[in-house]
């Protein structure tokens, strides 16, 4: 680590950022460039250099506002997409980049948040920073045969703006987040890129993306009705072999509870982070 330099990204680092992302996550160059165009100018990126070459990177993005049922709202910054060159893993470089990202996030926001992309990474992020679980999700995996048939036309694609307004109304009075506006536009592009979309079924809503023969329902909100009333037409519109469904703990839904988002606040923030916060669809 003695020869490693941690610093904010510069414009000349962009080609290497794309390479690191591809090494870490396998996405296509076009997708990464669209992400950079959409978010990098609004946020930042912390990189580690070894021998003058970027070998690890993580993004610090504008995060959602956290709304507890009582008390003040809290601003957040979102640390995202930690990627380290395989030749430099296991040396603590990624940990150093992540710590620098948390510090950078807390310079501009009340809280720093991270959403591990897989269960095995929760312990890594908990050990590497003061971030602790503030959000849980109920998640289920259902086979197509477990879902009753519905009518595809009942699942209507809606705009990012309409989704934002309906989501806010459906979650009022619960501990939840409101994402910056650019997240909804990005999520609409992201879900449609993967053959999904933002949908409404009789006023209830869901964010959907396709991954091969799996349909991921990243968020399903049906406060007054049966979640199956949403899944019937959704599964007809988006045929798949299996469905991964996420719902808040405080609303009806299938599956079991698991941790979701980790966060920590600046020392001067006295308001507690809301418990059982519904984070909703997000990068993970």
Mean pLDDT across 161-175:
91
What does the pLDDT look like over 191-208, one tens digit per residue? 777 788 899 999 999 999
Asked which of 14-23, 155-164, 188-197, 241-250 is least confident by mean pLDDT, the reply is 188-197
CA 5 vs CA 24, 133, 282: distances in Å: 20, 30, 30
Domains parsed from the chain with CATH numbers: 4-135+260-265 (3.40.630.30), 137-257 (3.40.630.30)
pLDDT exceeding 70 applies to what percent of the chain? 98
Separation CA 222–CA 202 (nearest Å): 10
- In terms of residues, how long is the chain? 284
Separation CA 139–CA 254 (nearest Å): 7
Whole-prediction pTM:
0.88
What pLDDT, on the 0 to 100 scale, is given for residue 283? Answer: 64
What pLDDT, on the 0 to 100 scale, is given for residue 158? Answer: 93
Mean pLDDT across 160-167:
90
Residue 86 clears pLDDT 80, i.e. is over it = yes
What pLDDT, on the 0 to 100 scale, is given for residue 68? Answer: 86
Mean pLDDT across 140-168:
91
> What confidence tier does 58 reach under pLDDT thresholds 50, 70, 90?
very high
What pLDDT, on the 0 to 100 scale, is given for residue 189? Answer: 77
What pLDDT, on the 0 to 100 scale, is given for residue 224? Answer: 83
CA 94 vs CA 23, 107, 179, 253: distances in Å: 14, 20, 27, 36
Residue 140 clears pLDDT 90, i.e. is over it = yes
What does the pLDDT look like over 88-134, one tens digit per residue? 999 999 999 999 999 999 998 999 999 998 888 999 999 999 999 99
Residue 1 clears pLDDT 70, i.e. is over it = no
Residue 284 clears pLDDT 70, i.e. is over it = no
Q: Please, how many CA atoms are within 13 Å of residue 231, restricted to the half-sphere of its CB?
A: 28
| Residue 34 or 242, more confident | 242
What pLDDT, on the 0 to 100 scale, is given for residue 33? Answer: 93
What pLDDT, on the 0 to 100 scale, is given for residue 5? Answer: 96
Mean pLDDT across 229-239:
95
What pLDDT, on the 0 to 100 scale, is given for residue 237? Answer: 94
What pLDDT, on the 0 to 100 scale, is given for residue 265? Answer: 95
Separation CA 16–CA 26 (nearest Å): 14
């Amino acid at each position: 680590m003695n020869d490693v330099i941690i610093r904010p990204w510069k414009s000349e680092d962009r080609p290497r950022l794309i390479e690191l992302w591809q090494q870490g996550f396998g996405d296509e160059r076009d997708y990464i460039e669209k992400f950079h165009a959409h978010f990098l100018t609004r946020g930042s990126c912390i990189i580690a250099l070894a021998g003058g070459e970027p070998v690890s990177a993580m993004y610090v993005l504008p995060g959602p506002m956290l709304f507890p049922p009582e008390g003040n709202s809290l601003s957040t910054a979102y640390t995202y997409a930690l990627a380290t060159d395989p030749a430099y893993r296991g040396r603590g470089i990624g940990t150093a980049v992540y710590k620098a990202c948390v510090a950078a996030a807390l310079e501009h926001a009340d809280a720093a948040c991270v959403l591990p992309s897989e269960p095995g990474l929760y312990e890594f992020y908990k050990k590497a920073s003061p971030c602790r679980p503030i959000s849980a999700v109920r998640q289920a995996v259902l086979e197509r045969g477990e879902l009753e048939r519905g009518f595809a036309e009942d699942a209507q694609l809606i705009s990012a703006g309409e989704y934002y307004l309906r989501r806010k109304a459906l979650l009022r009075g619960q501990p939840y987040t409101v994402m910056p506006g650019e997240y909804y536009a990005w999520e609409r592009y992201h879900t449609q890129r993967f053959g999904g979309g933002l949908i409404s079924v009789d006023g209830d809503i869901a964010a959907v993306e396709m991954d091969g023969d799996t349909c991921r329902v990243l968020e399903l909100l049906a406060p007054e009705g049966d979640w199956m009333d949403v899944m019937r037409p959704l599964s007809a519109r988006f045929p798949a072999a299996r469905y991964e469904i996420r719902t808040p703990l405080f609303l009806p839904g299938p599956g079991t509870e698991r941790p979701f988002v980790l966060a920590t606040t600046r020392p001067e923030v006295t308001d507690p982070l809301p418990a059982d916060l519904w984070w909703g669809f997000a990068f993970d």
